[in-house]
Every structure is written in C-alpha cells, then in structure tokens.
Amino acid sequence: MLKDITIGQFFPGSSAVHKMDARVKLVLTIVFIVMLFSAKGMAGLCVCIAFTLLIFAISRIPPAMMLKSLKPIAPLVLITALLNIFFVKDGDKLFEWKFILITDKGIDTAVFMVVRIICLIVGSSLLTYTTSPIDITDAIERLLGPLKRVKFPVHELAMIMTIALRFIPTLIEETDKIISAQKARGSELDTGTLTEKVKGMLPIFIPLFASSFRRADELAVAMECRCYHGGEGRTRMKQMKAGRRDVFGCIFTAVFFAAVIAVNILTK
C-alpha cells in the first residue's frame, strides 16, 4: 500500500505548461510571487487571480487538485483571517462587544490577505504539479550553476536531492517491513499513552537508521564503480532547451505583471 505513493505532487500531462522548460517555470513562479506582493489593492489582486486561473486551465490540472493543495495551509489561512478581523482597529466600527472590535477595514484586509495566500499557494503548486521533481532538481542545479564559481556546492546539493527522492519509496517500504517485524515480535505500536507511543517508535527508527547507513555505504561504492567523481567534467543526457513556448510564457507573464502595475497606478 505504502509502495504506491507518488513522490512530490507531480501530475503528468502534455499541456503547454508541462512542456515548458523547468528553469523558465521556476523563474516565472518567482516572478509570479513578486507580482502577487506588488498588487496593492483588490483590483490588482483580481488580475493575479485571473492569471492563476488561466494557467490552471491551460495546464489541464483537474480543479480538485487546486483545493487539495490548499488543504494543508487551511489553518494558516484561518489564523490570518481571524488575526486581521480582530486586530485591525482603524476604519469604521461594524461590531463592538466588550473587548471585541470589528471594523470594515479589518474585514477588507482579512479578505485581501486570505485571497493573496490562496493565490500564492495555488499558483506555486502549479510548478510542482506540472514539473517532475527530477526536472525541478535539474533546473535548480542549472540556475544556480554560476554560484559554482564562488565554490557553492551546487552539484552536490542537486545530487543529494536526487538521491533523497530516489530513496524515499525504498525507505518507506523498509519502514513498513520493520513495523511488521516489530509487531510480529509483540510490540504495541498504536496503543497506550503518548509517551508510550513515542517510545514505541524507537524500535522502528533504530533499525531504519542502521539500514540507511548501510545503504548509503553500498550506494557510495556502487557510484564509485560507475566512475562518479563529483560534478567536474560531467555531462547530462537530457539537455534543457528553452524554445518558442518559453518565450511565449515569459511574454504572457510580463503582460499580466504590467497589468498589475497599471492597475496599481490607476487605483491609487
């Protein structure tokens, strides 16, 4: 059962967004975040919403996925909303009872903040939906490439990420086996108080760590056998090439960014 997990939240497809160069997508995602935070009012934010929805439509990711990406941050959204509603004190009074004071400005800010967070999450999760973890890792390695000159271990970081991604399913499978083995020896993992439960995890983590070290050792030897000697002089089978599609994507984003700035100026 655990074996069938998907790593990350990649949603394979063949849309224009999927086919874009991962490096371009990564940069555009950062541009999108800047765009979101430069929108000064609701009108500017509406442009951002339109942009997000449009990309979502083009990428043909099922709309349900949009909600799924929001689930883990629901508490954050709620807290943001409540804080803004209760703690913004200026503006016209709408409701007052003892120490609780709600103003129209408070409501406005709350809505603005909530919409911005939702937009941020939905927009940036599009990157992970349409790009495989491997491509993202590759893109990061290539984008950070110039940092190699100042001795920043770019290749090593990317290699660590790749190996981590590769071993997640293996280690999950192993955890599964260890849990079964410990259960067969009569350990009670899901009963008792919280401290007992935490203590019960120990016989799972220790073998897991021990076997991870053994695996790491074997993997290192296997990598040496395949002539691994760091990032120096390494080539890549898959070459990343930005094409017409990527230029179009950049123009598309630039147009929306310009629109946000225009709206900012007009509604000042």
Binding residues for other proteins, rule: CB under 8 A, are 3, 7, 133-134, 162-163, 165-166, 169-170, 173, 215, 218-219, 221-229, 233-239
- Decide: 254 and 32 in contact? Cβ < 8 Å: no
Q: Closer CB to other proteins, residue 220 or residue 258?
A: 220
CB burial readout 190-207, b (16+ within 10 A) else e: eeeeeeeeeebeebbeeb
Residue 264: closest CA among 35, 111, 31 = 35
Q: Closer CB to other proteins, residue 170 or residue 267?
A: 170
* Residue 183 C-beta: closest distance to other proteins, Å: 23
Q: Closer CB to other proteins, residue 27 or residue 168?
A: 168
Report in angstroms the alpha-carbon separations of 62 from 58, 92, 129, 172: 11, 41, 10, 28
> Helix, strand, or coil here: 93?
strand
* Residue 223 C-beta: closest distance to other proteins, Å: 6
Q: Closer CB to other proteins, residue 197 or residue 214?
A: 214
- What distance in Å separates the CA atoms of residue 207 and residue 175, rounded to the nearest whole number? 9
* Residue 161 C-beta: closest distance to other proteins, Å: 10
- What distance in Å separates the CA atoms of residue 31 and residue 250, rounded to the nearest whole number? 10
* Residue 133 C-beta: closest distance to other proteins, Å: 7
Residue 145: closest CA among 133, 161, 134, 157 = 157
* Residue 132 C-beta: closest distance to other proteins, Å: 8
Residue 103 dihedral angles phi and psi, to the nearest 5°: -115, 165
Q: Closer CB to other proteins, residue 121 or residue 136?
A: 136
* Residue 162 C-beta: closest distance to other proteins, Å: 6
Q: Closer CB to other proteins, residue 165 or residue 189?
A: 165
